[in-house]
Each structure stands twice: as structure tokens, then as C-alpha cells.
Amino acid sequence: MEKEHSILNQVDDKDLSNFLKYLINVKEYSSNTKESYAYDIAEFLLFLDSINVDKKNIKKEDIQQYLMYINNRNISKQSIKRRLCALRSFYKYLVKYKIVVSNPFETISSTKGEKKLPHFLSEKEVTELLDSNEKRTDFLKDRDQALLELMYASGLRASEVISLKINDLDLDSKLVKVKGKGNKERLIPFNNHSKNALIKYMSNTRYQLLEKRKEEKETDILFLNNNGSQLSRRGIEYLINQIVIKTGFNMKVHPHMLRHSFATELLSNGADLRTIQELLGHSSISTTSIYTHVTFADLQKTYNKVFNTPSSNDFGVLFDFNGTLFFDDYEQEESWKIIAKKYFNVELNKKDFDTIHGYSTAITLSRLAKRELTIEEVESFRHERIEIYKSLVYKNNPRPELVSGAIELFNKLQEKNIPYGICTSSTYEPTLWYIKTFDLLKYFPLEKIIYFDQSIKNTKPEPDIYLAGQKRLNVTSFVVVEDSLAGFISATRAKASGIIQMSQDKSVIKNDMCKYLIHDYTSLSDEVLSFLHLKDN
């Protein structure tokens, strides 16, 4: 929360302020949604300020740069999707009121949300939590018990629980009236355990909490905090965390877990999705359908344990970029020769590039200078070399293309549902150029393009970058396609299940660390295809 306020305090934007008022007064969005939008948009405006771009003049390239920026902070797909939604709405508003001409986010497709299965408690675990809490003897036990019982029995969101009023309860019929997202009302049943816990809380503890209330006006809010005021979302998270601590329960619990447990229990006992959708207040059945994955995941887990069947994410493929997906050895080497001669009076020969290809720019520059360079020096040399490199690329090939057969290979991997990605020692600036030049986002989700930045401690020949790639693909084993000695060592240290060596030079001999040697991706042998899990047995 402090982080959110600090970001908002750094932004003074009249259009953003007016937009937030518009969300509440015109669109009737909840205050929670408004706060999320405010943070996401303010973060984007600060990013634009850092790259000296006005919000009224942004281009697709600026948005791609922003996506790379947040992706390499390990932000989840779901959070990225939320940010894009907020920004799309903000620019739609700016277009509506003629502040900008067009909405640049209309053509930016939302990243697919991660297929995260919801965390939930089993019936046995919920019973254990409720029984443990019932044994407490402190003052707030009855309030906490009523809250736990109701949340589990009715599947309420935290935001819905804190807004409940006394009159929303019909204890005789055991129904609670809830105002959910979009101000949609629904009636949800609860059980006898919840009814008894609520009566006990309301007849005793709630009155004592009201006596602590400092506000003059009475309140009909059902659940109160220790000071007799309305609970906040953060307050309910804290409250449940305290329950776990006080009861000694051996699992971390958050409010939404009780909602997930409610839905999962219904589904496991034969309830249909439409019923669960109504009870949860989901506007779309597709949102509810995630709970089918929970039960299926349990079945699949049991099956795999019995039959030792690997899941689809047991294997992936990681590609180096330079010299592997794009043949640019000449341009790389010539640009380094120019820098080495111009600034360090060093004449580089072919053998020298065994210790340049695959290594970071900082390491190579330090070797040439025979000292450790400052960050400013490295960045200056890096930028100049990249500009020389790019000019050589365009001079030799005005329309650069990926290695022959690469796109067809990507398509085959997609057809087989084999995850794949890029792991390059290049830094942010050249990686962004590769993405634009080769339209890489057509073949690789942005988060599957891993480059050398502050999130990766050491580059090749250390294993860090391939370990990061393995984590991004979420695989237990992976094959690496590489062209450099540093890359071979890096992949070996990362315990890759095998390495395919790429070389444009057909006179090159296969390195001992590699399983196969190829010269492009066309007409791959049956052995290589099997190695890539692309050949049916």
C-alpha cells in the first residue's frame, strides 16, 4: 500500500484525476477498481517520463518497451493483463474527450493470463482450521469464527464480506444478500454452522466492539475491527493471518482461499458450473471453469504418480539468438574489430572471438582494456558498437531474416505444445531491436525472451540465463540450441538435457559438449527431430 501511494504521489496529471472521477461517477466502478487503475496508469506515466515521451504521442514501440520493462520485473501475466486493461480504458477515455486522436492500446492484445490453479483447502483442512479456531479463548474468537464460517459456506469475496450489513442477513432462511462486482446483487445460502456462529458473534462480541467505536455515528456494518470500525481488505487479510498464527494452523491462508475452497467443494460434490457461477457472482462461465482444472489436476497428478507419465511441461527448447536464430557472426566480429582498434589499439583475429561470442559486453571490454571499466564507459562503448553492428547488418542485408527453417520449427513446437524461448547474452537495447526487426512477438511471448539484465546475476558461460529460461518455460528438462563455446558451457552448467550446435560454417567440427551439429533448421534429421520431441514414436 505504501508503494502504491508513493507512486501516485509522484504523478500530477489532470487527465488521470478526471478519469478516476469518471470511473466512480459515470462508470460506477468500485473504489477498489479505481485504486488499481490509478496505480497502473500512474506507473505507466512515470515510465513515459523516464523515456521522455508524452502520453499524447506514444507509439506501439513505446508500449512494447514498457511491456519489456514490466516483464523483466517478474510481474505475472495476470498483472500485465490488468495493466493493459487499465491503460486501454484510460486512452479510450482520452479519445472520448478528444484529448488524444486515437487509442494506441486498441491494437495491443492482452497477454493470456497464466493458467494458475487456485489454491484451496480440502474439506479436512477447512474443518481443522474451524475446529482449531473454535478452541481459542480470546475476545475476538467469536467474530473470527463467524467470519470464517460464512466465507467458507458462501464463497464470499473479501470486498463483499467487509461491506455486509446486519440487514443483509436472513437468519431464518439462512440467506445472505451480497452486492458483488458491478453492483450486482445476489442471494447466497449459508449453513447452520454459519448461522450459529453469526448469532453468537452478534449477540455478544459485536456489541463490545461497538463500545470501542470512536465515531459518533452508529454503524450497521456486520464485521467490525478491534476499534469498532469497518474492516478493510487489508484488514481482513491481516485478521486471517492472525487466525493462522493464533491457532497454529500449519498452512498459509488468504481470504480468497476460502472462496476457492467453497467452489471446489461444490464441484467435487456434483454441483454444475452454472450454479457455481451464480453463487460466486462470476459474469462469465469461463471464469468459473478454472475450478474444473482443479479436479482434473488432482486426477492427472494421481494418474502420473501411478503410470509415471510426464506432463506436457516436462520438456522445452531454449534458443540462443545471435549465430543461432540470426546469422550475424561477420557483423558482430567487424563491429568488435572497429571498437577494439579505435579505443584499445588491439587487432582482433578469428581465434579471439572464441572468448567474445556469447560473453557479455562488459567482460569483453574489460579484457580489451585490461582493466575493469566503469558503468558509464561500458554503456558508451556498448551503444557505439551496437550502432556500428546495426549499420553493418543493414548494409549487407536491408531486410534481415531469421535462419532458414526457424519459423517452420517454431510452428512445429507450437503444434506439439512444446514450450520454447530465447536466452541471449544481449542486453535490453539490442534485444528490443531484434524484437522489432524480426517481429519476434509473432513467435515468442514477450516473457519467453530472456536477455541479460539486472535480474540475471551472471551471463554466459555461467548457467544463470539458461536457468532463468528453464524457470520461465516451467519445464523440468530442456534442450539448448547454441553456437558459441560460452553458450555450450552455460547450457552444460545449467544441466540442459542436451545441446544442438548451430554453425553457418559447414567446415566446423561438432563440439564434444554437443549432441548434434546443424547448419540451419531445414530438413532436420529424424534423430534431431526426436531429440526435440517432434517425431512421433
Angle at 399 between CA 424 and CA 453, to 5 degrees: 20
pLDDT tens per residue, range 24-68? 888 777 777 888 888 889 889 988 888 888 999 998 888 888 888
Is residue 148 within 8 Å of residue 133, measured between CB atoms? yes
Q: Determine whether 256 is an active site residue.
A: yes
* CATH classification number, 329-396, choose in 3.30.70.100, 1.10.150.240, 1.10.1040.10, 3.40.390.10: 1.10.150.240
Question: Is 157 an annotated catalytic residue?
Answer: yes
Taking the C-alpha atoms of residue 68 and residue 56, their distance in angstroms, rounded to an integer, is: 21
Q: Is residue 181 flagged as an active site residue?
A: yes
Sorted by where each begins, the domain ranges of the chain are 2-96, 123-300, 315-324+401-531, 329-396
Q: What is the pLDDT of residues 506-526, one digit of tens each?
A: 999 999 999 999 999 999 999
Q: Catalytic annotation on 233?
A: no
CA distance 519 to 502: 6
Output Rg (C-alpha) for the chain, integer angstroms: 29
For residue 412, the tally of other CB atoms under 10 A from its CB is: 17
Please tell me which residue in 82, 206, 260, 282 is annotated as part of the active site: 282
Residue from 88, 177, 181, 436 carrying the catalytic annotation: 181
Q: Do 2-96 and 315-324+401-531 show the same overall fold?
A: no
pLDDT of residue 308: 45
In CATH, which superfamily holds the domain spanning 315-324+401-531?
HAD superfamily/HAD-like (3.40.50.1000)
Q: How far is residue 488's CA from residue 513's CA, in Å, rounded to a whole number?
A: 7
List 66, 152, 291, 420, catalytic entry: 291
pLDDT, residue 537, reads 54
Distance between start and end Cα atoms, the chain: 54
| Catalytic residue (choose from 77, 259, 382, 460) | 259
Write out the chain's pLDDT in tens, 537 residues: 444 445 667 778 899 999 988 888 887 777 778 888 888 898 899 888 888 889 999 988 888 888 887 876 667 777 888 888 899 999 999 999 999 999 988 877 665 544 454 577 778 888 889 999 999 999 999 999 999 999 988 888 888 999 999 999 989 888 888 887 767 778 888 899 999 999 999 999 999 999 888 777 789 999 999 999 999 888 898 899 899 888 888 778 888 888 888 877 777 776 667 777 777 877 776 666 666 555 544 444 444 444 444 444 689 999 999 999 999 999 999 999 999 999 999 999 988 888 887 777 888 888 899 988 887 888 889 889 999 999 999 998 889 999 999 999 999 999 998 999 999 988 877 888 898 899 898 898 877 888 887 678 788 899 999 999 998 898 999 999 999 999 999 999 999 999 999 999 999 999 999 999 999 999 999 999 999 999 865
To the query of whether residue 330 is one of the catalytic residues in this protein, the response is no
Determine which one of 77, 141, 157, 357 is catalytic. 157
Determine the pLDDT at residue 309: 42
CB atoms within 10 A of CB 24: 13
User: What are the Cα distances from residue 291, in Å, to 77, 79, 117, 274, 288?
Assistant: 19, 20, 8, 12, 6
Q: What is the CATH number of domain 2-96?
A: 1.10.150.130
State pTM to two decimals.
0.48
| Contact criterion met (CB below 8 Å) for 494 and 487 | no
Among residues 256, 416, 519, 535, the one annotated as catalytic is 256
Q: What b/e readout covers 494-520, taking b as 16+ CB neighbours within 10 angstroms?
A: bebebbbbbbeeeeeeeeebbbbebeb
CATH topology of domain 123-300: hpI Integrase; Chain A (1.10.443)
519 is catalytic: no
